[in-house]
Copies of this chain bind each other. A is one copy, B any other.
Amino acid sequence: MIAAFRTGPISKNRLEAFTDGVIAIVVTLLALELKLPEGLHGDAAIWKALEQAAPAAAAWVVSFLFVLVLWVNHHFFIASLRHADRGLLWLNGLFLLCVTATPFPTALAGAYPGSTPPLFLISLSMGATSLMFAIMRFYASFVSKLTREYLTRADLKRAMAMSAIAPALYMLSAFMAFIWKPGSLILLTFVPAVFFLRSPALPPAEA
């Protein structure tokens, strides 16, 4: 009896609630990396300290948009499934492990804006996160076949192709951090922007 349910269907509600919770906390914590300048005297000193926080603020906005793109894509992706299963819970958990790593390289990028290590690490972290997302989509689309009936195999393949591009671009960005830093910076801001403008490939059928 138990064996029959092992890979049986599981409601999507808590998977969504858990993911929403983790992503909500991550985006909020990103802003906490804006460290308060302490022990200053006079307005001029405070203005100057705020100016010096500009790279940290830029890193915060880029990371926020990256995580927001993940959330919107996760929303559309889960909506395209009939239900979850045990494998999806685990893969989603590993995806969230990568998401929760985002604040660390973001803070590093804010603290050492011109250096190679933060650029490399932020590319690596975003690359791993989008790779886990692609693996999760692959599992749901072609391994466990959890997607809704109205989606054709061509739809699923197109969505898969699009999900595979992001990790490839982030890996490129990680290499760029060693060779030509501006190239890495351009890629890091360009990838979320593309997903921001373009529609997710798999839309939800529900209202």
Name A's B-contacting residues (CB within 8 A): 1-2, 5-6, 8-11, 13-14, 16-18, 20-32, 34, 36, 38, 40, 43, 46-47, 50, 61, 64-65, 68, 71-72, 75, 79, 83, 86, 89-90, 93, 96-97, 100-101, 103-104, 107-108, 111-112, 115-118, 121, 150, 152, 155, 158, 196, 199-207
Contact = CB atoms under 8 A, between A and B. Distances in A.
10 contacts: A10-B75, A11-B79, A14-B75, A22-B27, A25-B28, A28-B100, A36-B104, A38-B111, A46-B112, A68-B93
A108 B36 contact: yes
B21 A199 contact: no
How many copies are assembled? Answer: 4
A100 B201 contact: no
Given A46-B117, A71-B93, 8 more contacts: A5-B204, A11-B206, A22-B27, A22-B28, A24-B24, A25-B25, A46-B112, A46-B115
